[in-house]
Amino acid sequence: MKKLSMRAQLTIAFGGMAALLVGIAVMSIVIFFNLYERFDNYVNGVRARSEAAHVMREAVDLRAIAARNLVLVTNQRDRDAEIKIVNQAQADVVSNLHQLNELAKDKSVPGEVRGLIDQINEVERKYSPVALAIVDLALHDKKEEAVTKMNEECRPLLASLVAASNEYARLTSERSASMIRDAEDNFSTGKNMLILASVLATTLAVVAGALISKSLLKSLGADPLVLCDAVSKVASGDLTAELQVRSNDSSSVLAALRRMQLSLSDVVSSVRRDSEAVSTAAEEISSGNSDLSNRTEQQAGALEETASSMEELTSTVRLNADNARQANALALTASDIASKGGIVVARVVDTMDSISEASRQIVDIISVIDGIAFQTNILALNAAVEAARAGEQGRGFAVVASEVRNLAQRSASAAREIKALIDNSVERVDTGARLASDAGATMAEVVGSVNRVTDMIAEIMGASQEQAAGIEQVNRAIIEMDNVTQQNASLVEEAAAAAASLRDQAGNLVRTVSVFTVHAEGASLTVPPTPLHRHKLQAPAKHGALAGRGSIIGLAGV
């Protein structure tokens, strides 16, 4: 049987876990949906019908009481009140009975409940005209006829209606209790099923994790930390680390890493030996260029000094020019900012004066409020004295006077605190105005300084032009020297290029393998340092006179 890959194992394990989670989620949704249906049936069905029947029963009682009161009352005002109650109760009975009938149309309503509702409708259909007839007789002062009709017709019908309503209430209560018990049973069953599914999913997850961990460790051959350490050593060039591979392990990552380590060690040893030989040959060739390099050093030094001088002059001129442009831009910007700042400071001074004047006006208003609070306090004190003279009858007025006095005192205290704060604010505004005035004077000084800086920039730009003329002379000298060096460079270019290429390749080989440490080598190789004159090949004898002059460009090409 073909062994599953790690991806397949992880896919199967996590796919199974996902399927279990989906199953648990679906089970939870089904359980909660059933609970929701039962709850909705209870709230919008049983409870709603019970509420409608209860409200209708209260309206029936209120209508009967109002009809009886119409027979008993004697003045017109009481009659009007009872008539209003009768009409409202009649409307409530009709409305709630209609709502009860609409709710009873649901197919889930039991037949017994529908029978009771039909009975209530039948009794109300007979009782309502009788009750309204009694009201009509009472309004026409036919009280004896109304009492007779109440005793002979109304009371039996009312008793039947009350009996039917009570029976409906009892049946509704029993059905509510039954639904609550069923909901509790369903909740308990669903809870147990979810707990069982969760335990099963947890068990399977633990088992799958253990199996995957075992398979992963077998595929890797060692702990991931051990593998990471071994790979890090190989990456750093240490090929001497001992990797402990099991005797029967030939397919794990650790075994493959061990084979790669041995193969890489053999390759590095071979490359190191070859690179040493190449490096030695390159060193011999490079030493042949020492004589030619010595003959060109003098001329190269003069050219380098001249180039350095020109570079310094060029840098100075560029720096001066850049500084002049930047300083000019900054001076213009600073002048604009200083001008704008002066305008802003003037506006700030005007604003400070306005704020100061407004603060003084507020102080005057607060003083008026303080005076009003003082007078209110005096009036409250006089009222308290008068209330005390009035004795028991003035006690309530004394309490009010005391509260008014307290409020007056608190208003006076608040007015004094506000006045103190505003006085402090006025002082700070005056200080701010003085500071703004000082800032305006400072802005004027800044504008003068900016103008002086502009004059200095003009002088700097003149100096930059003089330096540019000197640079032109240096450039002409360097061009003449460069023509001489070009003649010498053509004689040694090919030999220098070949020597440099050979030596660079040998050095690269040595440096490449020097980072590795293998069992056959005790230490890493390094590239031996060479002086500058070793970068040149010895020129042919027939060109010795020209080669003695040296070439800066030839050096750059090596």
CA–CA distance, 30 with 228 (Å, rounded to integer)? 49
Shared-domain flag, residues 178 and 295: no
Q: Which domain holds residue 58?
A: 6-220
Contact 286, 499 (CB under 8 A): yes
Of 192, 220, 248, the domain-final residue: 220
What is the pLDDT at residue 486? 64
- Write down which residue in 197, 220, 243 finishes a domain: 220
- Check whether residue 41 and residue 160 sit in a common domain: yes
In a domain, 266, yes or no: no
Nearest C-alpha neighbor of 63 from the set 109, 129, 160: 129
173, 200, 220: which is the final residue of a domain?
A: 220
Domain containing residue 194: CATH number = 1.20.120.30
Do 179 and 320 belong together in one domain?
no
- Condensed to tens digits (0 to 9), the pLDDT of residues 150-184 reads 777 777 877 777 777 777 777 776 776 667 777 67
Whether 186 and 314 share a structural domain: no
Q: If you average pLDDT over residues 456-469, what whole number do you get?
A: 69
227 lies in some domain: no
| Residue 245, number of CB atoms within 10 A of its CB | 17
Q: Do 326 and 180 reside in the same domain of the chain?
A: no
Cα–Cα distance for residue pair 556/493, rounded to 1 Å: 10
Quick one: pLDDT at residue 528?
38
Q: 313: domain CATH number?
A: 1.10.287.950
Q: 417 and 534 share a domain?
A: yes
Model confidence at 529: pLDDT above 60: no
Residues in contact with 162: Cβ distance below 8 Å, sequence separation at least 6, in sequence order: 57, 60
- Same domain assignment for residues 200 and 334: no
Kindly state whether residue 261 falls inside one of the protein's structural domains: no
Reported confidence tier of residue 45, pLDDT bands at 50, 70, 90: low
Q: How is residue 42 annotated by DSSP?
A: I
> pLDDT tens digits for 110-164?
666 777 777 777 777 777 787 788 778 877 777 777 777 777 777 787 777 777 7
Indicate the number of domains in the chain. 2
Q: What are the C-alpha distances in Å from 466 to residues 36, 453, 472?
A: 95, 21, 10
Q: 175 and 102 in one domain?
A: yes
pLDDT in tens, 62-74: 777 777 777 777 7
Domain assignment present for 253:
no
Same domain, 179 and 293: no
279, 496 Cβ separation under 8 angstroms: no
Determine, yes or no, domain membership for 188: yes
> Which among 182, 175, 49 has a CA at the least distance from the CA of 120?
49
77 or 292, which is more confident: 77
pLDDT tens digits, one per residue of 344-358: 777 777 787 787 777
**For position 246, what pLDDT does the model report?**
67
- Decide if 256 is inside a domain: no
Residue 376 three-state SS: helix
- 333 & 432 share domain: yes
- Give the three-state DSSP class for 288: coil
456 within some domain? yes
Residue 257: inside a domain, yes or no?
no
The two counts, helices (H) then strands (E), for the chain are 12, 0
Cβ 58 vs Cβ 95: under 8 Å: no
